[in-house]
Amino acid sequence: MKTQRIVEILNSAAVDTDIVVKGWVRTKRGNKNVAFIALNDGSCMRNIQVVVDLQKISEESLKPITTGACLRVDGRLVSSLGAGQGVEVQAEKIEIYGTADPETYPLQKKGHSLEFLREIAYLRPRTNTFGAVLRIRHAMAYAIHKFFHERGFYYLHTPLITASDCEGAGEMFQVTTLDLNNVPKTETGEIDFSQDFFGKACNLTVSGQLEGELGALSMGQIYTFGPTFRAENSNTPRHLAEFWMIEPEAAFYELDDNMELAEEFLKYLINYALENCREDLEFMNKMWDNELIERLNFVVNNDFKRLDYTEGIEILKASGQKFEFPVEWGCDLQSEHERYLVEKHFKCPVILINYPKEIKAFYMKQNEDGKTVRAMDILFPKIGEIIGGSEREADYGKLSARVAELGMSEQSLWWYLDTRRWGSAPHSGFGLGFERLLMFVTGMTNIRDVIPFPRTPLHAEF
Ligand code: 4AD
Ligand code: MG
């Protein structure tokens, strides 16, 4: 007989049928006559209750069934008299696939701290919280593809190994097959990368944008969705060394079009979660963040506030707030500043535009004032920056002048600069940090708790 997922069984509630369920034991309780086993298979938050008549199946044979054990249950689906459940399984036969010794199995019934669960990240998907987070993560990945597909954006697979540094911040993981105990040197004493696998120095990409722009300048509208890597040594609740980013890039989009796309995109995703992940969101709301669903609804139903960086700085300076990092025109905004604007001042998401060129990447379109660029950051409550993007510099002369000014290597960017020589076009794009989105949607406050296996400084377990 076909195994059914618990979510299907509970939703169909096809009583008086024979079924097979397979899953992991959450709890077992009972008395002399009957045992109740709560089984979960990861398909939804809810467990299915297995009722065992001890006249039919001996208590002795149930002994190895403890929290964490994996079972196959053949039985009959019947209406349940118990509160809070429509149906339950009357077991005819139970097969134990794997036991879980209660002396050693770390996930016993009591609630565990998120810190503890991080140490056992290989088991935490078996908890209600991580089951919910990972189901929401899946739903958001699906909705991202759906959103872009519906709007005629093509999914472009950009490389993970590159020889360029898109953000110019030097936060790259090197990729090499050179023998680190015996690194070949040139006559002038530098590392001889010509002997390396790719014949030059390479790294894991910090962003798919540069190649994404090539896609936009040929296919019109593309998006990337893949892992990106940053060797920034920042141990914060918002930074990962390996995170997933979604980067749409569109020809003929100016900054306003870019802002509109980004706002529509975020609202679409949040709305998708509200409509499709209700049970999991309600659990997260109850367990971790009582204002979660209210906040999600608020963002879906209200316009984002758009303003200039310069105005933002004026508001921060006039706020009378004591910030850890002082605010001056030209400074990069810290998360405390971003959150002040969003949570205290405007009380809604903010799109901040036209940043000083010194604190933004080389590729952004330069404004006529000579000081600012057409950047846009989207700032969210609780999160701070969730999206970073811009209109791109489409003028060959201005772009190569900026590359030279920043001392970047024109050699490694020749192909990128070439797009501005032949058929250049206005174009724009942005990057959404997938885990930042998930923090917002799930209410989790540490980014390590929205990715299955977090990578942060000194942590690459599992
Ligand atoms: O602002 P960033 O650095 O922008 C770019 O990489 C551009 N190339 C995007 C583009 O225009 N196509 O990063 C974009 C987003 C941030 O807003 C943030 O949400 C997320 O990526 N992000 C991180 N998320 C987790 N851990 C980190 N270390 C992150 N760094 C950036
Ligand atoms: Mg940024």
The confidence score (pLDDT) of residue 456 equals 97
State which amino acid sits at residue 363.
Y
List ligand 1's pocket residues with C-beta within 6 A: 166-167, 207, 209, 230, 232, 239-240, 243, 245, 247, 385-390, 429-431, 433, 435-436
**DSSP letters along 128-195, please?**
HHHHHHHHHHHHHHHHHHHHHHHTT-EE----SEES--TT-S----EE--S-TTS--B-TTSSB-GGG
Of the candidates 319, 447, 429, 325, the one whose C-alpha atom is nearest the C-alpha of residue 383 is 447
The confidence score (pLDDT) of residue 261 equals 98
Q: Phi and psi dihedrals of 45, rounded to 5?
A: -60, -40
CB 241 within 8 A of CB 225: no
For the stretch 83-111, pLDDT in tens is 677 899 999 999 999 999 999 999 986 78
CA of residue 99 to ligand 2 center, whole Å: 47
The confidence score (pLDDT) of residue 13 equals 81
Q: Which protein residue has the closest C-alpha to ligand 1 atom 20?
A: 433
Q: Phi and psi dihedrals of 360, rounded to 5?
A: -125, 165
CA distance 133 to 438: 8
Q: pTM value?
A: 0.97
CA of residue 377 to ligand 2 center, whole Å: 7
The confidence score (pLDDT) of residue 108 equals 85
Atom of ligand 1 nearest to the CA of 239: 26
Instruction: Enumerate residue ranges in the chain where pLDDT < 50.
Output: none
CA of residue 173 to ligand 1 center, whole Å: 16
The confidence score (pLDDT) of residue 166 equals 87
Atom of ligand 1 nearest to the CA of 166: 8
The confidence score (pLDDT) of residue 85 equals 75
For the stretch 20-44, pLDDT in tens is 999 999 999 999 999 999 999 999 9
